[in-house]
Amino acid sequence: MSQLAIGRSGSRSGIYPARYSAAGLIRRGLTHTEWPPAWRPHPVKPSYDVVIVGGGVHGLAAAYYLAANHGITDVAVLDKGYIGAGGSGRNTAILRSNYLTPEGVRFYDRSVRLYQRLAADLDYNVMFSQRGHLTLAHNDSSLRTMRWRAEVNKVEGVDSEVIGPAKIKRLAPFIDVSDAARYPVLGALYHPPGGIIRHDAVVWGYARGAAARGVHIHQHTEVTGIDVAGDRVRAVRTTQGDIATRTVLNATAGWSTLIADMAGVRLPITTYPLQAAVTEPVKPFLSTVIVSGSLHVYISQTDRGELVFGASVDPFTSYSMRGSLEFIEGLAGHVLELMPALSKLRVLRQWAGLCDMTPDFSPIMGPTPVGGFLVDVGWGTYGFKAGPVSGETMADCIASGQTPEIIAAFGLERFTAGALVGEKGAAAVGH
């Protein structure tokens, strides 16, 4: 059964504590009645059927689909901070599916489709704006990769095409497409379904939907150990007490190797900081997302008018989430090479998050050699867009004990089998 039916009937039949609507807003305004909390805290129980470590989009989506699609509700989501404290609350919220490998394209396309109906499923406005996504090519080899991606995308039914400078100029008039640019723009991969979303709304929407179905969300609950006996998970140890369980899902992105170590599982993942920045708001002028791999920069404009800038990961491994002056100086230079007209715009703030990079720029999903210990990790700089499909497939995986076909290529064993899913050409800066 599709989760569309479950989600919609769920909200209509009163699963949510209060259905969000214009009529409800007016009624509460007139009667001075507060909205009930999106979810209520619970004491940590001594046991749960499933414990999900990490309250980002992946952990919360898995909890939601476990409850909504499979009726598995004895589930705890544990986060050492608050929900969305990791990459899920720090990303630049770009969604797209124009990847390079057929496995990647199919997977991310499913996620974009789930995102398209997510606001209705969750009864929560996630503000998905499919405004188009342009990846610029500044040299022949990038253009060749764009053509390759466009062909793979088309074969998989995803809307993508290579366009020339004249059309780029029409879509984004502020881009310098002249020969005088330091890195002249030769063409671009144009992906109309790509766009941006409100990341915090997605996180809260999944949390509210999961909690309404019985999932317990425990913020400020850090996992400090995982008990394994006879090659099987038995319990997790936390700062709020021990929890007996037979199933643990590691959805901790930048911290995922630390959690996996607790279960005795080694992951081929390295954690790097990734920074981003936002400017003061200006009148809307940029209606697409612009990415330049050669300049290591991407730009979008929010509905409020701020420009959001991103880049590639910092060139060193770290668990630090502090911004640096070096980053913002480099970023500003690259932005101006692309859009010289922005030179007087002021940066409002910058921030950083952690990225769990794999050698092939694809995720690691599914079971591990430790029974009951599953992973949904390796999300690097591109994992927010995969939240819905990852949640859906990890829920299937937990409920059925089988690995769904759509994530079969992303198993941990691919690193020993030598069957990598190379996505660097589509994921390095594009997010």
Ligand X SMILES: Cc1cc2nc3c(=O)[nH]c(=O)nc-3n(C[C@H](O)[C@H](O)[C@H](O)COP(=O)(O)OP(=O)(O)OC[C@H]3O[C@@H](n4cnc5c(N)ncnc54)[C@H](O)[C@@H]3O)c2cc1C
Q: Residues interacting with ligand X, by CB under 6 A?
A: 53-59, 78-81, 85-88, 90-94, 222-223, 251-255, 259, 274-276, 310, 353, 355, 379, 381-385, 431
To the nearest whole angstrom, how small is the minimum distance from the Cβ of residue 275 to ligand X? 6
Residue nearer to ligand X on the CB measure, 56 or 132: 56
Name the helix (H) or strand (E) containing 218: strand 216-218
To the nearest whole angstrom, how small is the minimum distance from the Cβ of residue 241 to ligand X? 14
To the nearest whole angstrom, how small is the minimum distance from the Cβ of residue 355 to ligand X? 6
Residue nearer to ligand X on the CB measure, 126 or 186: 126
Residue nearer to ligand X on the CB measure, 79 or 176: 79
Name the helix (H) or strand (E) containing 309: strand 307-310
Cβ atoms 248, 236 nearer than 8 A = yes
Which residues, including other chains, have CB under 8 Å from residue 232's CB and lie 6 or more apart?
A: 246, 370, 371, 372
Residue nearer to ligand X on the CB measure, 48 or 255: 255
Residue nearer to ligand X on the CB measure, 11 or 381: 381
- Which has the closest alpha carbon to 300: 127, 88, 161? 127
Q: Please, how many CA atoms are within 13 Å of residue 270, restricted to the half-sphere of its CB? A: 10
To the nearest whole angstrom, how small is the minimum distance from the Cβ of residue 32 to ligand X? 35
To the nearest whole angstrom, how small is the minimum distance from the Cβ of residue 376 to ligand X? 7
Pairing type for strands 223-229 and 232-238 reads antiparallel
- Which has the closest alpha carbon to 290: 222, 349, 338, 220? 338
Residue nearer to ligand X on the CB measure, 69 or 252: 252
To the nearest whole angstrom, how small is the minimum distance from the Cβ of residue 387 to ligand X? 7
Instruction: Output the six-digit token pair for 406.
Output: 């759509």
The CB density around residue 159, as the number of other CB atoms within 10 Å, is 16
Residue nearer to ligand X on the CB measure, 186 or 331: 331
Question: Is 346 exposed, middle or buried, given 0-12, 13-18 or 19+ CB atoms closer than 10 A?
Answer: exposed
CA dihedral 341, 346, 349, 350 (to 10 degrees): 40
To the nearest whole angstrom, how small is the minimum distance from the Cβ of residue 214 to ligand X? 21
Query: CA-to-CA distance for 90 and 87, rounded, in angstroms?
Result: 5
